[in-house]
């Protein structure tokens, strides 16, 4: 039992024990070699040098125990820790000097000085070597050294990754080489890992060295260069990752799937939208800004972006008390001079909106409140109408009555040739905004964009959840495509549009090429460290109201002079005289679900809205309800 306890103690402290034994060997050798070679004529008075070595080692061990020298983690050691070693050596030399003086009448001062300096240099040297992992070369390597990894970048970030991996002796990754474009660094080594070429040779090196993982470790790399490298890595078939990769990976505390992967938006094929900072500041700084849906994904990010421009006040309007509380608390933690107002209210309640506007008198409105979940709105069309159409109508009317300076409505690409209730209600809401822009002093505009990565209900969080559960990842159709953008990008576009607007515009973003949902699913699986075979992809079929593809503008909404800002366009939407007849028809059909759905899709897809609405009135739409029950539009046709 006692032997087992001793074994466990040794296992838990074996590094400290090794350093202690090494130190005792060093000071013994230093004393012996100094006396033998530097002071051979010294009279030892018949005293065996072994006695001095015993006294020296015992006294040094005692001081080392008191100063906890052999419990120091030398990876993080500083001058203070070196000072402890000096004190221990000096203390043991003083005891040895006192013993020699008392016993023989001379203290061997010169010998003690030389051997003390020798011992100090060797002991500190061993710590430096240990800190830099030189001793690791003497350790037996694992028969399974881990996945072969290549690091791009021999700077601070690259050497940090190598150092962490070597420090913890992980078997997760085996860094076999580094790429760097600096010609002066070629053929050098970083923590024992060779720099084997430049990024021009990426594909050849990945193939020649059978690289499985490529880590991009250059945080300062320009976006275009970063994007090009990531695409090249993807084409090699190697797994790509970006910083940070710290000790969690090296110690095995997390798996490859828990590293922060290359973000999906990095592979979408376009650069982030840049803002006209001065133009935005001129309008937002010192203004009273109201954001509806402020607790939602887009609304809350709008608040985070807007507060950077120092508005005098921000009114955070939302229906959910918890989400409004959370964004208010987050913004308060920034400790800005902007006065925050957390307001609970519903855009469907026009009377409540009047109270809010009368109390706070906002200058700029960002209308982000809406029902956006496509399948849910198919099942609850009247709720989509009430929130998206009448909620917008209430906001528009109250804003005009209170002479708000600017009003920006957030719309969706699903409003173009919609095949679902959500998209149709958003298109009619756009029309409400556009019509009011013709007769109001308030500058009304619409911003239309595609799917937002990471937002509530978006496909990316769903895929992540399914991968964490072990799969399968579900996609509705292998040919389905979508446009994607990030939440910060969407928010910046909305803010920029509020500055560019002159009244009645529908702004859209150049979102690059559409992305296949199945390709997005495959990439997320691979970035999570799994294979398609391990997780699996299941095709579930298109849900009610879904389209195979999305459009940002209908064909006849495009115009030659549409580009008004870098990557921002303004569309020329289908003309109409008034939205009032449409609202009247909706009122008539609000209690007839199928007829209401047909009406919304028919109007939103019409190429001649005034003519088609008049036809609906002439045909007495209520009596047409039975024949409409089986009529649905597909892909806007």
Q: Does 113 map to a domain?
A: yes
- What's the CATH code of the domain at 556? 3.40.50.720
pLDDT of residue 91: 85
Kindly tell me if the per-residue pLDDT of 391 is higher than 50: yes
Round to whole Å and give the CA distance between 633 and 420. Answer: 9
| End position of a domain, from candidates 85, 100, 131 | 131
- Mean per-residue pLDDT for 392-400? 96
Same domain, 289 and 398: yes
| Structural domain total, the chain | 4
Q: Is residue 471 situated within a structural domain?
A: no
Instruction: Please determine, for residue 235, whether its predicted confidence score (pLDDT) is greater than 80.
Output: yes
What pLDDT sits at residue 357? 97
Q: How far is Cα 633 from Cα 390, in angstroms, rounded to an integer?
A: 24
| 231, 293: one domain | no
Tokens representing 621 are 């739409």
Q: Are both 415 and 507 inside the same structural domain?
A: yes
295 and 432 fall within a common domain: yes
Asked if the bond preceding 573 is cis, omega within 30° of 0, the reply is no
Q: Which of 200, 235, 262 is the last residue of a domain?
A: 262
Do 255 and 317 fall within a single domain? Answer: no
Output the pLDDT for position 407: 95
pLDDT tens digits, residue range 439-485?
999 999 998 877 666 555 567 778 877 877 777 888 888 888 776 77
14 CB burial (10 A radius; 0-12, 13-18, 19+): exposed
Residue bearing tokens 């790399």: 221
Distance (Å) of CA 145 to CA 169, 177, 193: 10, 14, 14
Helix, strand, coil share of the chain (percent; to 5): 55, 15, 30
457, part of any domain: no
CA-to-CA distance for 592 and 385, rounded, in angstroms? 13
- 569 and 424 both lie in a single domain: yes
Question: Which residue, of 88, 113, 131, is where some domain finishes?
Answer: 131
Q: Are residues 81 and 157 in the same domain?
A: no
Q: Is residue 462 one of the residues assigned to a domain?
A: no
Strand bridging mode 339-344 / 451-453? unpaired
Q: Where are the alpha helices (DSSP H) in 255-310?
A: 277-284, 297-306
The predicted-structure confidence for 42-97, as pLDDT tens digits, reads as follows: 544 455 677 878 888 888 888 888 887 777 766 556 677 788 888 888 888 888 88
286 and 435 in a single domain? The answer is yes
Radius of gyration of the chain (CA): 36
Tokens of 457: 């209900």
Which structural domain range is residue 100 located in?
11-131
Asked whether the beta carbons of 501 and 566 are under 8 A apart, the reply is no
- What is the rounded distance in angstroms from the CA atom of residue 613 to the CA atom of residue 588? 13
> How many whole angstroms separate alpha carbon 165 and alpha carbon 379?
52
Residue showing tokens 């087992």: 4
Residue 168 has pLDDT above 60, yes or no: no
The alpha carbon of residue 413 and the mean position of all alpha carbons in its chain are separated, in whole angstroms, by 24
From the CB of residue 219, how many other CB atoms can be counted at a distance below 10 Å?
13
C-alpha to C-alpha distance for 399 and 411, rounded to whole angstroms: 18
Strand partners, 216: 152, 242
Predicted TM-score (pTM) of the model is 0.56
pLDDT band at 563 (very low <50, low <70, confident <90, very high): low
Is residue 9 over pLDDT 70?
Answer: no
The answer as to whether 334 is a domain residue is: yes
Predicted confidence (pLDDT) at residue 279 exceeds the cutoff of 80: no
Q: Do the domain assignments include residue 413?
A: yes
Beta bridge partners of 318: 344
Phi, psi of 144 (to 5 degrees): -120, 90
Active-site positions? 414
Cα→Cα distances 603→417, 441, 487, Å: 10, 28, 30
Are 179 and 327 part of one and the same domain? no
Distance set, CA 456 to CA 156, 335, 412 (Å) = 37, 27, 15
Q: Pick the range with the lowest mean pLDDT from 152-166, 252-266, 284-298, 613-627.
A: 252-266
Q: How does the average pLDDT of the chain come out, rounded?
A: 77
Under a CB-based contact definition with an 8 Å cutoff, are residues 330 and 301 in contact?
no
- When pLDDT is cut at 50, 70 and 90, the band that residue 12 belongs to is very low
Torsion of the alpha carbons at 258, 262, 264 and 265, rounded to the nearest 10: 140
Interval 550-561 mean pLDDT: 52
Q: Which residue has the higher pLDDT, 338 or 239?
A: 338
Pair 317, 351 in one domain: yes
* Pair 369, 290 in one domain: yes
User: Are both 81 and 145 inside the same structural domain?
Assistant: no
The pLDDT of residue 140 is: 45
């Amino acid at each position: 039992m006692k032997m087992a306890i001793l074994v466990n103690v040794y296992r838990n402290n074996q590094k400290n024990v090794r350093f202690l034994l090494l130190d005792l060997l060093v000071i013994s050798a230093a004393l012996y070699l100094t006396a033998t070679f530097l002071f051979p004529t010294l009279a030892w008075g018949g005293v065996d040098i072994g006695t001095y070595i015993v006294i020296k080692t015992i006294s040094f061990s005692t001081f080392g125990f008191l100063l906890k020298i052999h419990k120091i983690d030398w990876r993080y050691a500083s001058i203070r820790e070196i000072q402890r070693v000096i004190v221990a050596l000096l203390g043991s030399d003083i005891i040895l000097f006192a013993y020699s003086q008392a016993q023989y009448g001379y203290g061997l001062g010169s010998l003690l000085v030389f051997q003390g300096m020798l011992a100090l240099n060797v002991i500190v040297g061993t710590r430096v070597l240990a800190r830099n992992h030189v001793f690791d070369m003497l350790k037996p390597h694992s028969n399974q050294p881990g996945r072969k990894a290549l690091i791009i970048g021999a700077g601070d970030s690259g050497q940090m990754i190598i150092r962490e991996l070597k420090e913890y002796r992980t078997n997760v990754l085996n860094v076999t080489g580094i790429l760097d474009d600096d010609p002066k660094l070629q053929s050098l080594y970083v923590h024992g890992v060779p720099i084997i070429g430049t990024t021009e040779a990426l594909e050849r090196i990945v193939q020649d060295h059978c690289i499985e993982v490529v880590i991009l470790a250059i945080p300062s790399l320009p976006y275009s260069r970063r994007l090009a490298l990531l695409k090249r890595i993807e084409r090699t078939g190697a797994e790509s990752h970006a910083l940070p990769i710290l000790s969690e990976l090296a110690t095995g505390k997390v798996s490859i799937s828990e590293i922060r992967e290359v973000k999906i938006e990095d592979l979408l094929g376009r650069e982030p939208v840049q803002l006209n900072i001065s133009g935005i500041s001129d309008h937002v700084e010192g203004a009273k800004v109201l954001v509806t849906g402020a607790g939602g994904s887009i609304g809350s990010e709008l608040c985070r972006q807007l507060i950077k421009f120092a508005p005098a006040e921000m009114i955070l309007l939302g229906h959910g008390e918890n989400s409004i509380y959370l964004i208010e608390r987050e913004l308060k933690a920034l400790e800005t001079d902007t006065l925050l107002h957390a307001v609970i209210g519903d855009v469907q309640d026009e009377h409540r909106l009047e109270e809010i506007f009368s109390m706070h008198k906002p200058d700029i409105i960002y209308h982000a409140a809406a029902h956006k979940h496509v399948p849910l709105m198919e099942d609850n069309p009247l709720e989509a109408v009430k929130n998206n159409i009448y909620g917008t109508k209430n906001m528009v009317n109250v804003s005009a009555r209170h002479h708000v300076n600017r009003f920006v409505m957030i719309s969706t690409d699903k409003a173009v040739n919609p095949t679902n209730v959500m998209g149709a209600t958003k298109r009619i809401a756009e029309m409400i905004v556009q019509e009011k822009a013709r007769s109001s002093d308030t500058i009304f505009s619409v911003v239309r964009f595609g799917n937002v990565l990471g937002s509530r209900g978006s496909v990316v969080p769903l895929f992540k959840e399914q991968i964490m559960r072990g799969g399968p990842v579900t996609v509705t159709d292998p040919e389905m495509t979508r446009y994607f953008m990030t939440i910060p990008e969407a928010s910046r576009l909305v803010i920029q549009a509020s500055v560019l607007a002159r009244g009645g515009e529908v702004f859209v973003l150049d979102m690059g090429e559409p992305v296949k949902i199945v390709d997005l699913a495959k990439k997320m699986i691979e970035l999570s460290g799994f294979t398609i075979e391990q997780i699996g992809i299941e095709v579930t079929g298109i849900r009610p109201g879904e389209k195979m593809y999305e459009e940002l503008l209908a064909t006849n909404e495009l115009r030659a002079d549409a580009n008004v800002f870098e990557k921002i366009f303004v569309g020329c939407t289908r003309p109409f005289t008034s939205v009032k007849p449409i609202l009247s028809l909706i009122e008539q059909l609000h209690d007839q679900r199928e007829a209401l759905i047909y009406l919304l899709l028919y109007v939103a897809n019409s190429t001649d809205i005034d003519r088609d609405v008049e036809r609906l009135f002439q045909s007495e739409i209520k009596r047409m309800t039975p024949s409409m029950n089986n009529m649905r539009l597909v892909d806007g046709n």
